[in-house]
A and B are shown apart, each in its own frame.
Chain A
Amino acid sequence: MRIIDACATSAAPIKEHGLLRVLACGAVDDGKSTLLGRLMADAGLVPEDQMAAVAGAGGEDGFDYALLLDGLAAEREQGITIDVAYRYFATARRSFIVVDAPGHEQFTRNMATGASICDAAVLLVDARKGLLPQTRRHAVIAGLMGIRDVILAVNKMDLVGHDENVFRAIVASFRPHADSLGLDVRSVPLSAALGENIVHPAAAMPWHAGPTLLDLLETLALAPRRTGSLRFPVQRVSRSDPDFRGYQGTVAGGRVRRGDPVVALPGGQPSRIRQIVTFAGELEEAGPGEAVTLVLDREIEAGRGTVFACPDNPPACVNHVVVRLVWLSEMPLGTGRELLMRQGTDLVPCRITALRSRLDVVRMAENPATTLGANDIGTAVLETGRPVVVERYGDNRTLGSLLLIDRLNNETLAAGMVVEAVNAAANVYWQRFDTTTADRPSAGRQTPAILWLTGPSGAGKSTVANALERRLTAAGCHAYVLDGDNMRHGLNRDLGFSPPERAENVRRLAEVAHILADAGLIAIVAAIAPYAQDRANARAIAKDVPFYEIFVDTPLDVCASRDPKGLYRRARQGLVSDFTGVGAPYERPQAPDLRLDGTAETPQQEAGRIVDLLAARGHVPAA
């Protein structure tokens, strides 16, 4: 598209409001392509030969503005927009890049891709249908991708008799949704087919004194984005001659000034900026979005993937990242695939270690999930093969965004946004100490072990653990109970009951049990641990410490009738979600080291059988 006639007056038009990248979205059939075609045609931006080409194809219903846009043959055949298209136009007041996103639910991923580069969104609604689930989905995704300014365009007003009440009701119904997403909403009633309130005000809607869609787009003021501290991901090292080593890249945050100290991450080698080189001459400084070449005052180890940063406020350099993923591939998220992470200027092997949840985009709820399919949005934990320099998406879009790529077929599987950099074991090394378990005074009459009592809530795990701890302590053995519920009051109080959170709960219990055993104690864990995989992980964490899985096998109906904490009752009333045995499964151990029949024996008898096991394996003296 080209420059509107209106700006032909000046050789250098004043773009008083700068460039606006705007996403056009909304449910399918709400008339988006027609709207955009009309916007450009009414603004005088469509060349005559293109208008002529479409006029021939419009058929009997007259001129089809949508045909000005849908670009691929498959789209014209199906009459829908599949892929994201980019439209360019400028008026006297502003330049625009309109990112035209498809409305079909199965193309949500394309919509997210389009939203990723936009400052604002036009969300289209059919006045006859009001807000559809897909409308809400688009609003949520726009919000997730960081768009704050939304224009709610209520289309097809001519088909509801230009009724103000219809418009007001739709605007009001969107308000709570927009508020929960933190969106700043402006609204306009319009008809794309008739060209009402697109560029020209509509005589049929005198009750709308506000601006037209083009007015809104031209005057939308965007909140300035924080630039933060210096971030410069190195794209390429230029060694044009032996004396020159320039680091080419684009400033991704903050400013770089000649003479400034910087650190190179990962690694953290310090240096200073000696020169900022460009074709047009050396610069004193450069800011976000500027592509420059940096020369440092000393030789350091840096290459593609290195990030130069402000030493006072460096970004995280980690092996674990919590990310929000938009799944793009038709192949669902599965285990065992070799992945690459493309982030900043880096490309790193990685794997997904946990899937925390999947987002119900319409209800805005995070639900437990075992996989993600095409167009799903979920939260996962990534582990990278070496440390990566990342920031939260909200803090830095460049270091906070990533792609997941299938290492074998190179398919782009997912787009990710960093929720949190997990400062796990990055740059942390295992320190050896001389004192061993056997040297400790606590190594009295017992040799360490981990006893894991598993079973549904109310099975009697804590009661048995209590009896066992008393018996062992009385016998001069050092033992300690880690009770699942008690641990959730402290160490694990940040965890809920979704499968990934249960997995983390078990992991922490197992790590603490391992520490206690390393200190020489017998660690007794009483925790439901309903998933076999989690229990297997706990056994793996125990490493060389003997680990005994003890199944407190009390039938669910007995547990429920005991119901010591009233939880079964509350779960059945729907007051407790994800409750094991009611709303969540319990996977019975297939080969426990010891099975206790929770209905046949007293807790004291059961504790006695565990002591017998420990004695038989040499952990405690025989009674």
Chain B
Amino acid sequence: MLDATGAAPPASQSTDRFALSAHQRMLEAEAVHVLRETAAVFRRPALLYSIGKDSSVLLHLARKAFYPEAIPFKVVHVDTTWKFREMIAFRDAQACALGLDLVVHTNHEGLAAGISPFSHGAGLYTHAMKTVALRQILDRLGADAAIGGARRDEEKSRAKERMFSVRAPGHRWDPKMQRPEPWGLANTRLLEGETMRVFPLSNWTEHDVWAYVRAEAIPVVPLYFARERPVVRRGDSLIMVDDARLPLAPGETPQPMRVRFRTLGCYPLTAAVVSEAATLDAVIDELRSSRRSERAGRLIDGERADSIEAKKAEGYF
């Protein structure tokens, strides 16, 4: 929530924090405030961890918010089984290093039904393995609030999302049901069966996230940095061949290219960008001169103009 006093926190005396700008300190304090509100008013919140840069920032902020206490929520990862291998390795290393109470969930019915990005199309696959899987695990945990790293600058329909976003029974999002949040003051009360989605990074931009990752030295998955990787070209997209499950067309052979990812998801549905940016500084510089939006690499978003809105209505994050 935006600081209701309107003032950006002034530079404090502690040396570590000079690295953050006034704007970054404001964003950090706001996210910490939202995380603490969530811990204070909900019975069983869960933090959705997608392993991406936003999730990494979110975890870091949660550690800061409750220090010296441990993060008082379960950390949930919805594993579609199609994530990049490096993501899974990173996830497990982080869980160990930070002592996270990690819950990994896969929609096994979907898996048993043989649903994959290739057999059923990206739309149905995403619905079954991400949206339905998320609903399953939130229900199983009895989570009344799910914290996610979504940002308003990602996409147009997200620009109207609340910090505290009510979901009807069945995790459905109704844009007309959303509660006003004047002064960042949230009505967090729920009726039976309703749940809350909480977005502490609402006011962050992609640039803010990277600048914060650099300032706070937050570990991120190496896939964000350029390296030679085996890719195939599919239309306008470069798809990394992360394992042998990616069906190759006759005559199609993976080519080594220096690429990186701006956003991470399921590898067959996440396009790489050609890049030389192998360091954090280089990534931030590249971001400033890029003329493509962050989610352009998400193949599932582009299907319809209101595609994210439609998926959110069904319970997608």
Contacts and interface: CB of A to CB of B under 8 A. Distances in A.
Contact of B181 (A15, A113, A246, A405): A113
Interface stretch (B9-17, B92-100, B226-234): B9-17
B29 interface: yes
A116 interface: yes
A280 interface: yes
A304 B37 CA distance: 10
B179 A69 contact: no
B284 interface: yes
A412 B25 CA distance: 30
Contacts of A109: 180
B115 interface: no
Contact of A328 (B29, B180, B306): B180
Contacts of B118: none
B153 A401 contact: no
Given A49-B292, A49-B293, A342-B185, A412 B14 contact: no
Interface residues of B, number: 78
A73 B155 CA distance: 13
Interface in A280-325: 280-291, 293, 304
Interface in A1-22: 1-3, 5, 7-8, 11-12, 15, 18-19, 21
Contacts of B6: 119, 225, 397
A277 B37 CA distance: 18
B175 A342 contact: no
A278 B191 CA distance: 35
B40 A47 contact: no
Nearest to B189: A410
Given A83-B175, A113-B180, A113-B181, A278 B8 contact: no
B7 interface: yes
A1 B205 contact: yes
B85 interface: no
A403 B287 contact: no
B187 A69 contact: no
Interface string B135-170: 000000000000000001101111110000000000
B179 A412 contact: yes
A33 to B, nearest CB: 11
B5 A253 contact: yes
Nearest to B7: A288
B111 interface: no
From A283, A340, A397, name the one whose CB has the most chain B CB atoms within 10 angstroms: A397
B203 A88 contact: yes
Contacts, number: 232
Nearest to A235: B36
Contact of B281 (A11, A57, A410): A11
A426 to B, nearest CB: 23
Contacts of A531: none
Most buried by B among A1, A88, A110, A285: A88
Interface in B1-42: 2-10, 12-14, 16-17, 21-23, 25-26, 28-29, 32-33, 36-37, 39-40
Interface in A96-123: 97, 100, 109-110, 112-113, 116-117, 119
A363 B182 CA distance: 25
A288 B293 CA distance: 35
A1 B17 CA distance: 26
B183 A401 contact: yes
B291 A113 contact: no
Contacts of A405: 187, 189
A85 B159 contact: yes
A285 B13 contact: yes
Given A72-B160, A88-B205, A402-B185, A240 B70 contact: yes
A331 interface: no
A370 interface: no
Interface string A202-220: 0000000000000000000
B70 to A, nearest CB: 7
B189 to A, nearest CB: 4
B3 A288 contact: yes
A2 B288 contact: yes
Given A95-B23, A403-B185, A279 B37 contact: no
B63 interface: yes
A400 to B, nearest CB: 9
B166 to A, nearest CB: 9
B296 interface: yes
Given A18-B8, A86-B202, A90-B207, A5 B183 contact: no
B306 A73 contact: yes
10 contacts: A8-B288, A18-B8, A18-B22, A73-B306, A74-B176, A83-B160, A236-B39, A250-B32, A397-B4, A403-B185
Given A57-B305, A86-B202, A251-B9, 10 more contacts: A3-B287, A47-B293, A53-B305, A72-B309, A84-B160, A117-B182, A289-B25, A291-B32, A328-B180, A397-B183
Interface of B: 2-10, 12-14, 16-17, 21-23, 25-26, 28-29, 32-33, 36-37, 39-40, 63-70, 152-153, 155-160, 175-176, 178-187, 189-191, 202-203, 205-207, 281, 284-285, 287-293, 296, 305-306, 309-310
List the 10 shortest-distance A-B pairs measured between CB atoms, nearest first.
Answer: A71-B156, A47-B293, A240-B69, A8-B288, A116-B182, A279-B64, A291-B32, A236-B40, A289-B9, A289-B3
Interface of A: 1-3, 5, 7-8, 11-12, 15, 18-19, 21, 47-50, 53, 57, 69-74, 76, 83-88, 90, 95, 97, 100, 109-110, 112-113, 116-117, 119, 225, 227, 235-236, 238, 240, 244, 246, 248-253, 277-291, 293, 304, 326, 328, 340, 342-343, 345, 396-398, 401-403, 405, 409-412, 415
